[in-house]
Structure 1
């Protein structure tokens, strides 16, 4: 599939990692998606898309238009349609808060139709996006729509969450949460409550996701992998804990995960291919 993305202009870049278009025929329809340090908005112009949490024996959620997803702390399954035409937003973990007017806990480990969050205003946005004649034009429209919905005054505590979240991001989750609270001049409980409000999860949980993301994105399946060294570099100092968390987050042992990627050489062609792995 073809991926075209960019970091949006200020002030959106304080809250959004990238906006992007994804088009084409997927090599794999069903993807197993581990937790990553972001929240999402998807607008699908060719649907429907199905998602499972994470057991395929459960009924999937089906979205034909658009949906929001908060920060996920466990893996889920995502099924592309036969042909993909998708416009997306990767929000920073705290980045969805100024746009949706909901407590972040309402969207953590959940997905919700975009119309339910933005009160049936999605059709106009999808039409504007669909009428754009180029990927750059599509992303221009998306940035305009996001800017129009950006709250003018930051909610209470959001600036503090953003500041400490940037430290967590820069340290790949290895900075102690107590040190974040001390540096911010607040108690650990106060910081945790602010994170639940604006991110949907505690800073400790967010640190785990950043640490895992650093590890999984550093794996080069084309080379020998020293899991012990990678784990230690990412901040895992207990091998048993690393193995349990890896299995919880991916559904595979490290050895199984590596074998899976080696069976699909050259598959990673864009950001959408890093983290998610084929499940079909």
Structure 2
């Protein structure tokens, strides 16, 4: 499966990590995806995609067209069709906020059809990009759509979230929430409320996800892995807590995860893993 992506031009780059196309035969049809510091928009131009929540009470979702995903705090699975054609936007954790007119909590741990968020827009967007054969032209059209939807003025509290969440991003979640509130001159309750509105979760939860992302991306399965060293470098100082969070986030123990990485070296730097 081919990936073609790019970081969008300012001011979109404050909210979006990349806009990309996925095309072709997937390496693996079904993938296990841990929590990552991101939200997404997917526009599907191929056969249906199926999504499974790790919460067994949530029914399987099937999307033939497109969907938004807010920040996820637990793992999920995605099953690609035999041939993939997806166009996607990879938002920063706070990145959806200036493009949608609803609290981010309504998208947390959820897949929501595009038309439920951008009313009566998906067919128009799919028609504009459906016949394009150039990924560069496709990405240009998607960026233009995003620029047209970017709010002229930031919503209340978004500036505070941009500043504090940006510090979490740079530090990989290593800053204490108390230090963030003190530097920003606000109470912990106020900061948490603004994060819930614009990110969907508290600053502490965002820090946990950044910390885990740093850990998982630092592992090179081609080498001997000292999990205690990696965990400490990522900010885990309680090994029991590290082991529990790792299993919750990936569905595997560190040893099981490493064995899976070594079986599928093509995905060395990509957090999703084949679902066995």
Q: State TM-score, norm by structure 2.
A: 0.98
Report if aligned partners of 2:35, 2:209 keep a CA contact under 8 Å in 1.
yes
Q: SS in structure 1 opposite 2:246?
A: helix
Q: Which runs of 4+ in 1 moved over 2 A?
A: 55-59, 265-268
Please name the residue that 1:128 is paired with. 128
Q: SS in structure 1 opposite 2:244?
A: helix
Please name the residue that 1:18 is paired with. 18
Please name the residue that 1:216 is paired with. 216
Please name the residue that 1:112 is paired with. 112
Please name the residue that 1:27 is paired with. 27
Kindly report which structure 2 residues correspond to 1:171-182, keeping only aligned pairs within 5 A, or say none: 171-182=171-182
Equivalent-residue separation in structure 2 for 1:263 and 1:201 (angstroms):
34
Equivalent-residue separation in structure 2 for 1:81 and 1:132 (angstroms):
20
Please name the residue that 1:140 is paired with. 140
Please name the residue that 2:196 is paired with. 196
Q: How much does 1:190 deviate? A: 0.3
Equivalent-residue separation in structure 2 for 1:260 and 1:247 (angstroms):
14
Cα deviation digits, residues 118-147 of structure 1 (max 9, x gap):
112111101111122311101000100001
CA RMSD between the two structures:
1.2
Aligned residues: 276
Report if aligned partners of 2:267, 2:273 keep a CA contact under 8 Å in 1.
no
Equivalent-residue separation in structure 1 for 2:57 and 2:189 (angstroms):
38
Cα deviation digits, residues 158-214 of structure 1 (max 9, x gap):
011011111000000010001011111100110000000000000000000000000
Equivalent-residue separation in structure 2 for 1:266 and 1:275 (angstroms):
12
1:274 and 2:273 correspond = no
Q: SS in structure 2 opposite 1:128?
A: helix
Please name the residue that 1:81 is paired with. 81
Q: How much does 1:54 deviate? A: 1.4
- Please say which of residues 133-142 and 208-217 is displaced more in the overlay: 133-142
Q: SS in structure 2 opposite 1:258?
A: helix
Q: SS in structure 2 opposite 1:67?
A: strand
Q: State TM-score, norm by structure 1.
A: 0.96
Q: SS in structure 1 opposite 2:140?
A: helix
Kindly report which structure 2 residues correspond to 1:45-124, keeping only aligned pairs within 5 A, or say none: 45-54=45-54, 59-124=59-124
1:162 and 2:158 correspond = no
Q: SS in structure 2 opposite 1:195?
A: helix
Q: How much does 1:55 deviate? A: 5.2
Please name the residue that 1:227 is paired with. 227
Unpaired stretches in structure 2, ≥5 consecutive residues: none
Q: How much does 1:17 deviate? A: 0.6
Please name the residue that 1:241 is paired with. 241
Q: How much does 1:265 deviate? A: 2.5
Equivalent-residue separation in structure 2 for 1:25 and 1:6 (angstroms):
21
Please name the residue that 2:42 is paired with. 42
